[in-house]
Amino acid sequence: MATVAAKAGEAGIVGAAERLGVPLLTYAAADLAQVAVPNPSAAPLAAVGTPSVAEAAALLGAPGGELVVQKRKSAMATVAVARRRPRGRLALVGLGPGARDLMTPRAVAELRRASVVVGLDQYVDQVRDLLAPGTRVLESGLGAEEERARSAVAQARAGHAVALIGSGDAGVYAMASPALAEAGDDIDVVGVPGVTAALAAAALLGAPLGHDHVSISLSDLHTPWDVIERRVRAAAESDLVVTFYNPRSRGRDWQLPKALSILAGHRAPATPVGVVHAASRPDERAEVTTLAALDVTTVDMVTVVTVGNTASREIAGRMVTPRGYRWQS
């Protein structure tokens, strides 16, 4: 409830707020006088110094909101009602690697709750059957990342419950970071983690990520190659298991061989390498090979490549990295 400061002690108003269990907000007449209202009047201007009390106080009490009931007068009181602008919500939802049974229930709940879903068209297709009727879908093609991020934040700012979706984990080489670079503290943000490609691939290969491991993207579209190469060298020299995201595409074909040659400078030719295409999707393929034997032409954009460290072994066709350096030595 909101009114002019001069009425802050009026028994009827104070009692009503108490009975409703809501705080009583009061504003100076000079502040109320600044608010544009549909029905200004000379009477309150003369009595308390503002052309509107009810409508102006309602609007001041609901910043950014709208007047839904204009002033109504009874013998003893005048009221108006404003609706607060709902606080927007942005859920950053990781759908997992592809199979429906690797998507978390929390991700499903966020999709059902959303009034607006924003995402790459192929990920939207993956979950369309989970959306509530009437959900607005803003889908776009590859390469429109910044537009999707801005659009998701703008929809949340307008008060909607938005789900910004991505495959794997939305925070790993994905949409969460450009969206959060735009988002302020004027919206609620909820992150729903998902099974990222490195984990989905590892589960098919055996246990290659049993000890320290790094994820490196070989895409030099947004990152200079010298930054990428420095990280590959660091991984090679410090004996980290490495998972390459975006390892190879048509027209981007020399980066993976170069990265593997750096690793081969520090690891034996027999070091196990896992190659997993489209983990958990219908065209899934997983292979354990070696640094020496890997055929890079089998690798494309939906493949992840995991290179073992000096302790990794192929055991019964599976790729295994021990949990520690004294563990089972």
Among 172, 260, 278, 288, binds a copy of itself (CB under 8 A): 172
Q: Please calculate the CA angle 53-56-61 and round it to the nearest 5 degrees.
A: 110
CA 198 to chain centre: 19
Q: How far is the CB of 324 from a copy of itself (least distance, A)?
A: 2
Within 299-318, the residues that bind a copy of itself by CB under 8 A are 313, 315-318
Of the candidate spans 8-16, 37-45, 60-68, 210-218, the one that interacts with a copy of itself by CB under 8 A turns out to be 210-218
Give the per-residue contact string, 226-245, with a copy of itself (x = CB under 8 A; - = no): -xx-xx-xxx-xxxx-----
Q: How far is the CB of 198 from a copy of itself (least distance, A)?
A: 9
4 within 8 A of 80, measured Cβ to Cβ: no
Q: How far apart are CA 113 and CA 168, in angstroms?
A: 20
Half-sphere exposure of 2 (CA within 13 A, CB side): 22
Q: Does 217 bind a copy of itself (CB under 8 A)?
A: yes
Among 46, 221, 250, 251, binds a copy of itself (CB under 8 A): 221
Among 4, 165, 189, 305, binds a copy of itself (CB under 8 A): 189
Q: How far is the CB of 105 from a copy of itself (least distance, A)?
A: 4
Tokens of 65: 């909101």
Of the candidate spans 9-17, 53-61, 129-137, 218-226, the one that interacts with a copy of itself by CB under 8 A turns out to be 218-226
Among 82, 102, 288, 305, binds a copy of itself (CB under 8 A): 102
Tokens of 185: 């503290």
Give the per-residue contact string, 245-264, with a copy of itself (x = CB under 8 A; - = no): --------------------
Total residues binding a copy of itself (CB under 8 A)? 85
**Closer to a copy of itself by Cβ: residue 32 or 202:** 202
Among 29, 59, 209, 291, binds a copy of itself (CB under 8 A): 209
**Closer to a copy of itself by Cβ: residue 80 or 176:** 176
Among 65, 159, 191, 257, binds a copy of itself (CB under 8 A): 191
Q: Does 325 bind a copy of itself (CB under 8 A)?
A: yes
DSSP state of 324: S
Distances (CA, A) of 215 to 186, 200, 235, 245: 33, 13, 10, 7
Q: Does 92 bind a copy of itself (CB under 8 A)?
A: yes
Within 116-155, the residues that bind a copy of itself by CB under 8 A are 145-146
The helix-helix angle for 255-264 and 225-237 (nearest 10°) equals: 30
Distances (CA, A) of 317 to 202, 273, 308, 320: 13, 12, 14, 10
Q: How far is the CB of 94 from a copy of itself (least distance, A)?
A: 8
What residues are paired with 67 via a beta bridge? Answer: 82
**DSSP character string of 195-243:** --HHHHHHHHHEETTSS-EEEEE---SSS-HHHHHHHHHHHHHTT-EEE
Q: How far is the CB of 197 from a copy of itself (least distance, A)?
A: 10
Buried b (16+ CB within 10 A) or exposed e, 165-175: bbbbbbbbbbb
